[in-house]
Chains A and B, each alone.
Chain A
Amino acid sequence: MSIDQIAVTAAGLLAIAGVAWFFWGPRGEGVKAALNSAGVQEAMILVKGGYTPDTIVVEAGTPVRLSFRREETAACSERVLFPAFGRSADLPEGEVVPIELTPDAPGEYGFECGMGMLHGKLVVR
């Protein structure tokens, strides 16, 4: 094996490890939803290539309002689904669309776009 082959192989393995860590590695804590005066936990989520923030931490048993605002034209994200809650909403571009739900049991509930390509997570404590 020549020196450049060894170099390319090593770099390739390193790159594979890097890709795996980057996409599948451990992630940050997420953003805690703010409790407003009406007793609703609120969070704004920007929909643009993904959900920002993509992990929202809320308390169980208290109503949650997630306000989605989609700022892109790609048809991919025009619908957001909460399969665990059987809820969904269309997200017209540039409009704030609130989704209200009250998670009763702690756990992690995913939300995603209609095609299942964008993912976010509601962490209920």
Chain B
Amino acid sequence: MNPSETATAPLQPSPTEDGDQTATARLSIEGMHCASCASRIEAELARVPGVVGASVSLTAEEATVRYAPGRDELPSLEDAVARAGYKARPAAAPEDALTRQESDRRREYRSLMRKFWFAALIAVPVMVFSYPDPLGLDRWAAFEEGSDSLLWIWRALGLATIPVLAWSGSQFYSGAWLALRHRQANMHTLIAVGISAAWLYSTVAVLWPEIFPEERFTEVYYDVAAVVVALVTLGLALEVKAKGRSSEAIRELVGLQTKRARVVRDGTEVEIPIEEVVVGDVLTVRPGEKVPVDGVIVDGQSALDESMVTGESLPVDKEPGDEVIGATVNTTGAFRFTATKVGADTALASIVRMVQDAQATKLPIQRVVDQVAGVFVPAVIIVAIAAFVVWFDLGPSPALTYAVIVAVTVLIIACPCALGLATPTSLTVGMGKGAEQGILFRGGDALQAGRQLDTLVLDKTGTITHGKPALTDVAASPTFDEQDVLRLAASVERRSEHPLAQAIVAGAAERGVASADPESFVAVPGHGVEARAEGRAVLLGNRKLLADRGVDVAALQERAETLASEGKTPMYLAVEGRAAGLVAVADTIKPDSVAAIAQLRELGLEVAMITGDNERTAAAVARQVGVDRVLAEVLPEDKAHEVQKLQLEGRRVGMVGDGINDAPALTQADVGLAIGTGTDVAIEASDVTLVGGSLQSVVSAIEISQATMRNVRQNLFGAFVYNTAGLPIAAGLLYPFFGVLLSPLIAAAAMAFSSVTVVSNANRLRHWKPKEALA
């Protein structure tokens, strides 16, 4: 177990050296001041019955306690801390951390909105008095240009905007100051410098008009200061809100976890917090309840809705021996199961962790963006200074006014946030969307590469097909009945453990044909079985077995050939020395494989099937599912080589297979997609894990990466175009040609809404839905 994971997993049973199970609890402790406080608490905790070890961290203000599970221990631990003179409460669990993040966000949003309303309240009268013309106020004598009364109105406006800057705009100043201390600059720096410049210039102009004789009474820019603060603050608030939505998918996943579990201990059923469930506990699940942790069914049966983890919409039938996944929902049956994975090891916890880690990785495309973003803000400041100088030296009169306002506009229109937000937000939404469908991307590069694939190699066994043989055909000689053929075949195979035999027995049962134990049974290795059933001598096996026993199979020969050409394995049945019929088994194709392959081809991918089967069987399956290319008779160890050969043709290859046998090929491929095996979601070799295990999810995976990358591109394009177009216009590049100069107010609006647009565009991905499977 990775030590850092314990930090996010509050309670995690793990085996001790002597093999016993212990549970770990984390307590958050208040009121500690020194190392001796910590050791006092440790000593007190160690005295609690059942506690194996306790360690207290002063810096983290936290106690980690290992104890033998069995009872609800937390209250006695809290009492022990209280005895030592401190206050304890259970430390935040990961889901609580997410909830906290959410409430932090809400608080941040409310605080920003309050600041916005205050700034807006002041900005409106400031605007009215700054631009009296539209309302006809300019007819009043007080607004007469150059008059003392106008000067006094302006001075009043300057006073009114002070609280806007000081309170509503405080985050810009504190943000800028903190960044400056690290010799860094950010959006806050630009806004803070911009609004300060506008305000200071105006203030100097109204307090000491004689300093700028040329500019006297031309214009003041208090409205800029107030409106920019209001708009940008509103933009920040909306962005906070939109960002909260981007991580909704992961929050929903975490929310799936149940809080309590019913465990059978000492023969009675007790309800305990889920954190206290240890591996080996037997848990009961009633109809309609959620499965608390991962495990294997011991008795009972039911159908489970696993859609939240695998994306598979139909409930899955489960019986003793089958795996159940924590957080899935039991439908109508009741069952008991043994816990196999608990705490941070469950499939759900792994999924959440994988998605969170993946969301934190970077798209390769983003490295370029980062390089730009790294120099962006200082570069904007330099552009602003340069624009100021150029306008001062070459601009029209009043030069100083123009220079100031152009510099301010440049500072305000630049939006580094849109650049910074463009890819991570889309990535977060896209990966969350994938997790909803049971598709886990290991990182941003997998997502980006997924879009660029042109060839997809599908492993046949277990990917296109079920991976285990099933009864497909029964044929009878003219004198026999198909029912009899199947019944006898099933009866003689009841004793056999061969997978083909089991397929026949299961197939008969499925078709409602009752079989009985044979009276005698001899396996003929490599050929079949020789048995007595229902008082008759029965042979079941390949043609050679029957030929050796002198049975004439000529009548069945043709049918057998046909079956073999369809990729099936025919077995001859002889009763009392006469050919009675055929049963055929084959690895059957999963019901959605054909539709999924058609969709993959529609997405523009060339689909190849790779298999160890002989050419004929492979070709038969290939025909049925409609792949473009067949790679047959490939030994398992050569699969990676085949993938490499395709890559040498200049293709970008995705490989779909299981995570164990196909690991080298998955690693070799540009994108390895591993079909999930039950609760084991963290498949190392794969770039993408498909928890659901159906080919349909491969389609969804490709579609999600295409949709996400399209979204990223739109965002980046938007952010780059916005900044590269906005900056020169703000600097007044159009002025010499068209006389166009951007108002700082427009710049503020553009800046505020550009980052909101980016986040909102990313959130559009939330509405992405997998295409319905073709009928």
Contacts and interface: CB of A to CB of B under 8 A. Distances in A.
B100 A92 contact: yes
Interface in A61-84: 67, 72-76, 78-79, 81, 83
A96 B60 contact: yes
Given A50-B178, A74-B108, A74-B171, A5 B392 contact: yes
B181 interface: yes
Given A27-B183, A51-B182, A83 B385 contact: no
A9 to B, nearest CB: 5
B424 to A, nearest CB: 6
Interface residues of B, number: 63
Contacts of B393: 1, 5, 8-9
B759 to A, nearest CB: 11
Interface in B380-433: 381-382, 385-386, 388-389, 392-393, 403, 416-417, 420-421, 424
Given A1-B393, A24-B378, A73-B107, A95 B92 contact: yes
Contacts of B661: none
A101 B357 CA distance: 14
Given A49-B175, A114-B424, A73 B357 contact: no
Given A19-B382, A74-B171, A117 B92 contact: no
Contact of A88 (B187, B356, B373, B420): B356
Given A75-B240, A88-B356, A117 B186 contact: yes
A59 interface: no
A78 B417 contact: no
B175 A74 contact: yes
Interface string A32-68: 0000000000001000111110100000000000010
- Dominant secondary structure at the A interface: mixed
B181 A49 contact: yes
Interface string B81-113: 000000000001000011011001101100100
Contact of B378 (A20, A50, A100): A20
Contact of B183 (A13, A23, A76, A88): A23
Nearest to A93: B104
Given A75-B240, A83-B361, A116 B4 contact: no
Interface string B223-258: 000000000000000011001000000000000000
Contacts of A115: 417, 420-421, 424
Chain A interface size, under 10 / 10 to 19 / 20 to 34 / 35 or more: 35 or more
Contacts of B389: 8-9, 12-13
A116 B360 contact: no
Contact of A119 (B3, B187, B374, B392): B374
Sort A-B residue pairs by CB-CB distance and give the 7 closest, nearest first.
A49-B178, A88-B360, A50-B182, A12-B389, A115-B420, A23-B378, A100-B4
13 contacts: A8-B403, A12-B389, A19-B382, A20-B378, A22-B183, A73-B104, A74-B171, A86-B357, A92-B100, A97-B7, A98-B4, A100-B4, A116-B370
Interface of A: 1, 5, 8-9, 12-13, 15-16, 19-20, 22-25, 27, 44, 48-52, 54, 67, 72-76, 78-79, 81, 83, 86-90, 92-93, 95-101, 114-119
